[in-house]
Structure formats: C-alpha cells, structure tokens
Amino acid sequence: MKVALIQMNSGSDKAANLQAARGLIEQAVAEEKPDWICLPEVFDFMGGTGEQKRAAAETIPGGPAYTMLQGLAKQHAIFIHAGSILEKIEGERRVGNTTLVFNREGAEIARYRKIHMFDITAPDGAQYNESASMMPGDAVVVYDCEGVAVGCSICYDLRFPALFQALADKGAEMIALPAAFTLQTGKDHWEPLIRARAIENEVYFAASAQAGTHMQGNEPRATWGHSMLVDPWGHVVARASDGVGYVAGRVDPARVKKVRAMIPVAKHRVPLA
C-alpha cells in the first residue's frame, strides 16, 4: 500500500487552509499515486480564539472540509484519512477535534475524536489548555483499508501507550497520527515517541504534522513538522523536513507479520495488577 503524509502550515483562514490541503492532495496524487493520504491535525483551522474555533467548526456530516475531502477521495479513488477538523457538537460549547476517513468511493468509513487533551505549560512558559475549547472523545477506533487495519490517534495521544496497545489489540497494523506538535516538545520527543510506539506495538506508524508558525490570538506558536513513516522495526521509511509539502512510502502487511513472528510481544505480555 502506497501512503502519502501531507504536511501543512494551517492558520485561522479556513478557506485558505482548505485550498492548501486540496493543492497538496492533488500534488501527491499526481506525483506519487498513493492509495492512502493522511492530513495533519486541525488542518482546516489552526490557532485563533475560542469564538473563532466555534465559528469555523462543522456539523458532521456536511460542511466545506467534509464535502471537499469526500469529493477528492471519490474523484481520485483514494482513501483519505482527514487529519482532524473542528467538529460542532450539539448542546456543547466546546468543539470536537475529530478525524474523518473516506474510502475510494467517498463514503465515510471511520470517525475518531481526540481522547487526550493537551493541557500543559511548555518550557518557555506558554500555556496550552485544549480542554477549555475542545471536548474529548472516548472511543478506540480501527478501520479496514483494503486488508490493512488502521488505528486512529491524534497528536498528544502519542504520549499515552495504553491507547496504542488497545489499537494493536484491536488488530491495528498501521497507526495514523495527525499532529500539531509544538516546536519545543517536538525537537526532543517527536521521533523517539513515534519510533517507540511503532516498535512496542510492531506496527507501521504514519504521522502527518503541522509545521511552522501560526497565531494563537496575539501570540505566535511554532510547530515542529517532520512528518514521518516508521516501520514495525522502528526504521524511518520516509521523513519530511520543516516546511509545507508531503512525503510518501510503502506499507507492507507482510512486514508486520514477520516482525511479530520474530518477537511475539503480544503473546508474551503478562497481565499486571
């Protein structure tokens, strides 16, 4: 299976973000002919105020981001793992940070809402408080991509190994991680965590990231980029730098089976109280 990981520098202009996503998808399709494409976290709207986030959020199904990606999946006969978009939730002031997945016919086949909220104080003192504006999900989601089981996660989820073990237990052979990792944490933690999750669960790991600076209100925030595809042995198959673009590589389910046969971690796991 050929995969492409889109890297963006989204901001608070939703129309411009959608136009950029469309252009990168069409470029990847023309140059690489992938079966599966992944976009980064909140590719449709990054930064802004809480009110602006609520205004940009979409009721699912429908809305401009949903409709565009559904159409592109059908037009190009590809799977699109639509990073995440801001989702309107009935009766809730907060929005969802929600992944959508479309198959080659443009049908929605999976939906995942980010579970772990990024409520931290960064090394430079910047405060991130996702739970104030975003409502977490609670479902562990795996879907079939023509024989490859794909697990869903988003950004800060990466730091919680129990989620990835649960995805592997549900049969995941590849895990998608749309992200907007901060520059400060990303430079030290991004690659080690991705490779660790791939190794310990013996899965391919496909991480599409935001890169560059956006505005959070009046404050600039920098993201790390470096989207990457890692194999079940922990080897980096493809890696982007820190600009807008994409990288591509191949996923081989036989490689997953071979690694799991050599080191059968799942069979050796001992339940702990």
101-156 pLDDT tens trace: 999 999 999 999 999 999 999 888 888 999 999 999 999 999 999 999 999 999 99
88 annotated active-site: no
Residue 92 domain boundaries: 2-264
58-95 pLDDT tens trace: 999 999 999 999 999 999 999 999 999 999 999 999 99
Q: With beta carbons less than 8 A apart as the criterion, state whether 55 and 62 touch.
A: no
Q: Name the catalytic one among 114, 130, 152, 173.
A: 114
The CA distance from 29 to 111, in Å, is: 23
Domain membership flag for residue 236: yes
41 annotated active-site: yes
Given a cut of 90, is residue 38 above it in pLDDT? yes
The CA distance from 2 to 57, in Å, is: 31
CATH code: domain of residue 153: 3.60.110.10
The CA distance from 83 to 128, in Å, is: 20
Q: Which two tokens stand for residue 90?
A: 């009935």
The CA distance from 164 to 162, in Å, is: 5
Q: Number of folded domains in the chain?
A: 1
Domain membership flag for residue 271: no
Domain membership flag for residue 67: yes
Domain membership flag for residue 220: yes
Q: Which two tokens stand for residue 20?
A: 């950029």
Beta strands in the chain (DSSP E): 2-7, 36-38, 79-81, 85-87, 96-102, 108-113, 119-121, 127-129, 142-145, 148-152, 174-179, 204-209, 211-216, 219-224, 228-230, 236-239, 245-250
Secondary element (H or E) of residue 20? helix 14-32
The angle that helices 64-76 and 14-32 make with each other, rounded to 10 degrees, is 10
pLDDT score, position 218: 82
Burial call 92-101: b when 16+ CB within 10 Å, e when fewer: eebbbbbbbb
How many Cβ atoms are within 10 Å of 136's Cβ, its own excluded?
14
Q: Is 240 helix (H, G, I), strand (E, B) or coil?
A: coil
The CA distance from 132 to 61, in Å, is: 24
Q: Name the catalytic one among 38, 145, 152, 155.
A: 155
Domain membership flag for residue 150: yes
38 annotated active-site: no
140-198 pLDDT tens trace: 999 999 999 999 999 999 999 999 999 999 999 999 999 999 999 999 999 999 999 99
Q: Name the catalytic one among 14, 38, 41, 173.
A: 41
This prediction's pTM: 0.97
How many Cβ atoms are within 10 Å of 30's Cβ, its own excluded?
9
Q: Which residues contact 107 (CB under 8 A, 6 or more apart)?
A: none
Domain membership flag for residue 269: no
pLDDT score, position 112: 98
Domain membership flag for residue 55: yes
Domain membership flag for residue 196: yes
The DSSP 8-state label assigned to residue 124 in this structure reads T
Amino acid at residue number 243? G
